[in-house]
Amino acid sequence: MKSKIDELLDILLIEIKEGKSIEDCLEAYPEYCEELKPLLSLAKEIQDLPKPEPDGAVVEETVRKVRTVVQPQQRFSLGRVFALKPTFVRAIAIAILLIVVGWTTVSLSAKSLPGDVLYPVKRLCEQIQYFLTVSPEGKTELHLIFADRRSTEFIITFREGEQINKELLLAMLDEKNLALKCSESLLDESCLKMLEKIRTCNCDQVEILEHIKPLVIDSDTMFINEAIMSCTECECCIERRLNQPSTKQ
């Protein structure tokens, strides 16, 4: 089950894509404004990133203008241009720095865990990736990828004798169930392949849960049992769909 923030973020990302401003989106949810605004702003900036294509005429004209800066007797050199134009160099350096910092932040966030400063960036990148994926098969694959990530995070953050991260446990089950739901819209061959992948993911989750069950504190045993039961129901659903007569053309 997704958190309230995640649910609202999914809804508002769609509204922003349709042209609604961030301020208008947040008016309906003032109590979540402080948490949603930075996430929506980042999503909007990523969405609005330009995708320019080089214009040969513009490049040629730029080179021509740069040549006029250099003495006619000297051979054209970008090094000389940079030496003569320190402001230009600083501007390029700052631009490169911003790009490097941005990509570094996204890269580092990929290894973050719940509670880390960059973990919200990781989850936001996942939601944007899902938002930009159009095909049902692609969305199903992403849900399985996210389910595996949540499972890995659950294993890494688990500590014997401490309470389990119930939100993370629900997230890993939820992503797998969403993958199963998305697979319903796939054609026969793609659907069968995806169901096998979902079954593998489900078996992996059962193995994780069975492994940690003896290690959890007594108050969490009920949650582990419920999670295992959910996986059992998922397996039954997969088996039923694999054996049902084909209805799609």
pLDDT digits (tens, 9 = 90+) for 24-83: 888 888 888 877 777 777 766 666 655 444 455 554 655 565 455 444 444 545 455 455
- The percent of residues above 70 in pLDDT, for the chain, comes to 69
Instruction: Please state, in angstroms and rounded to a whole number, the distance separating the CA atoms of residues 193 and 217.
Output: 38
Higher pLDDT, 41 or 115: 115
Instruction: Please state, in angstroms and rounded to a whole number, the distance separating the CA atoms of residues 17 and 183.
Output: 25
Once rounded to an integer, what is the mean pLDDT over residues 78-106? 50
Residue 108 lies in a domain: no
Task: Round the CA-based radius of gyration of the chain to a whole number and report it.
Answer: 25
Q: What residue type is assigned to position 179 of the chain?
A: A
Closest of 130, 118, 137, 110 to residue 197, by C-alpha: 137
Residue 158 lies in a domain: yes
Q: What is the mean pLDDT of the chain?
A: 78
Residue 188 lies in a domain: yes
Please give the tally of structural domains in the chain.
1
Residue 13 lies in a domain: no
Residue 170 burial (CB count, 10 A) = 18
pLDDT band at 232 (very low <50, low <70, confident <90, very high): very high
Residue 13: pLDDT over 70: yes
Instruction: Please state, in angstroms and rounded to a whole number, the distance separating the CA atoms of residues 90 and 118.
Output: 29
Instruction: Please state, in angstroms and rounded to a whole number, the distance separating the CA atoms of residues 177 and 165.
Output: 19
Once rounded to an integer, what is the mean pLDDT over residues 183-193? 89
Closest of 155, 154, 144, 201 to residue 178, by C-alpha: 144
Instruction: Please state, in angstroms and rounded to a whole number, the distance separating the CA atoms of residues 179 and 197.
Output: 10
Residue 226 lies in a domain: yes
Residue 153 lies in a domain: yes
Residue 146 lies in a domain: yes
Closest of 221, 199, 198 to residue 210, by C-alpha: 221
Residue span of the structural domain in which 218 resides: 135-243
Once rounded to an integer, what is the mean pLDDT over residues 113-138? 89
Residue 220 lies in a domain: yes
The predicted model scores a pTM of 0.60
pLDDT of the residue at 36: 75
